[in-house]
Amino acid sequence: MEPLNRRQFAATATLAGATWLTPLGHMLARAAEKKPNRQATAQSVIILWMQGGPSQLETFDPHPGTNIAGGSKAIDTKLKGVQLGEGFGRLAEQMEYISLVRSVVSKEGDHERGTTTIKSGYRPDPTVVYPSIGAIAAHELPVAGCDIPRHVSILSSQWPARGGFLGDGFDAFRTDDPAGPVPDTQSFLPKSRDTDRLQHLDVVESAFAKGRSRRVESTLHKETVADARKMMSSEQLKAFDVSKEPAAVKKLYGDTPFGRGCLAARRLIEVGVRCVEVTLAGWDTHANNHAFTASQLKILDPAFAALIQDLRERKLLDKTLVLCAGEFGRTPRINPVGGRDHWPSGFTVALAGGGIRGGQVIGETDPEGKAEPKDPVQVGDLHATILKSLGIDFEKVSQTPIGRTVKFAEGEPIEKLLAAK
């Protein structure tokens, strides 16, 4: 079933008489009373995915001089009174464009479940697969003339962003280091033989379809092949090729797979891709946390800072929402092997651009590591905020393949994060 706008559903249900007196009807009635979404600001999303769960105390929420810091240091930023971990020397100069939510809370401290929760906004459920931010963006924000997938994952983890109940066609298209070719887009055959094979395939498919055309058409096999062939010959594939960029720009992002991934993300949104997720693995610091985090920041800092600067100079930052997040944070207590363990009870995500009011901090964590964070932000609230910045109705009701009715996000937007129109 195609997702139905709550106002359309309400109008239809009103005509249905007694059927309106259902739990779903009451839910939609309450939703219809709320103000409609504001006009969209962002058009695309770039997600910097920190696989493994980065320590907030050595990155976006340092508490230098306290017991929970464990000796880690902090640096000042261009934003008065706001500090970052000492490895963020370049990002500190961009903080006026970035907002930090330091009080995100989740109930999932397992890697797979935490990843699903942050990427979809919902805790894992065996009865339904919820779509990720990128899948929703690609589904709700179609763009004409885009021959390549509109939802892309670079350096994907083992738990990629899913299309969920929107369909597998909205799963992220996965690719590796942009220094290499895009997988499965070049034929290994001479052009003449490639053409012959397609003609032979058409003969076989035509014969097979006789007497069963409806079933064959329902598989969308021909459309899938046609779309794949169109992508393989598209000039837009060049957006993945960061070698086309000036040497100075490539140096700015850093000579790493992640840096090249961030540069490719900027190139991809320029040709109409709605969401690009770039993964930086290696944050599962159960041992030797300080050293491993410092090593990671040498990769993240130049790439993140360059992405913000590059988008801003190209007048793209206002149209592109950038999100930096992992599946959870790390414990205030350092364990016996110098590591920090899983901590979903107060961690940080960073947001910039596309309808987000930069230069502010939402929430606060306890410098003693004991109390709950102030102004806690639920994962659903974060998703509602992102979708609203994209002009997507976060309360839009969809029906899953088994007949469940769900909304794109179960939270409420964080209005302090959203820029005024």
The CA distance from 306 to 370, in Å, is: 36
Domain shared by 203 and 171, yes or no:
no
Is residue 411 in a domain?
no
Is the Cβ–Cβ distance between 289 and 339 less than 8 Å? yes
Q: Do 174 and 142 share a structural domain?
A: yes
Same domain membership, residue 156 and residue 88 = yes
278 found inside a domain: yes
Q: Are residues 169 and 198 in the same domain?
A: no
Number of domains in the chain: 2
Q: Is residue 13 part of a domain?
A: no
> Using 50, 70 and 90 to split pLDDT, how confident is the model at 294?
very high
Considering the domain architecture, whether residues 262 and 368 belong to the same structural domain is answered as yes
**In the 8-state DSSP scheme, what is residue 191?**
H
pLDDT at position 295 over 80: yes
Task: Tell me phi and psi for residue 316, to 5 degrees.
Answer: -110, -10
Chain segment 362-376, per-residue pLDDT in tens: 999 999 999 999 999
Q: Is the dihedral of CA 330, 360, 51, 129 positive or negative?
A: positive
| Element (DSSP H or E) covering residue 303 | helix 289-313
Domain that holds residue 59: 41-178+241-391
C-alpha–C-alpha distance, residues 55 and 69, integer Å: 10
Distance (Å, rounded) from C-alpha 301 to C-alpha 307?
A: 10
Tell whether 315 and 223 lie within a shared domain: no
Query: Does residue 116 have a pLDDT over 80?
Result: yes
In angstroms, the CA 123 to CA 112 distance is: 11
Instruction: Identify whether residues 149 and 298 lie together within a single domain.
Output: yes
Let me know if residue 92 belongs to a domain. Answer: yes
* Tens-place pLDDT, residues 269-284: 999 999 999 999 999 9
- The verdict on 200 and 246 lying in the same domain is no
CB atoms within 10 A of CB 123: 16
Give the integer Cα–Cα distance in Å for 4 and 339. Answer: 47
Counting residues of the chain whose pLDDT is more than 90, the rounded percentage is 72
> Token pair for residue 156?
């994907």
> Which comes out higher in pLDDT, residue 215 or 346?
346
85 & 163 share domain: yes
Which residue is it, tokens 């009715």? Answer: 405
CA distance 52 to 48: 13
- Angle of helix 289-313 versus helix 257-270 axis, rounded to 10: 30
Identify whether residues 333 and 345 lie together within a single domain: yes
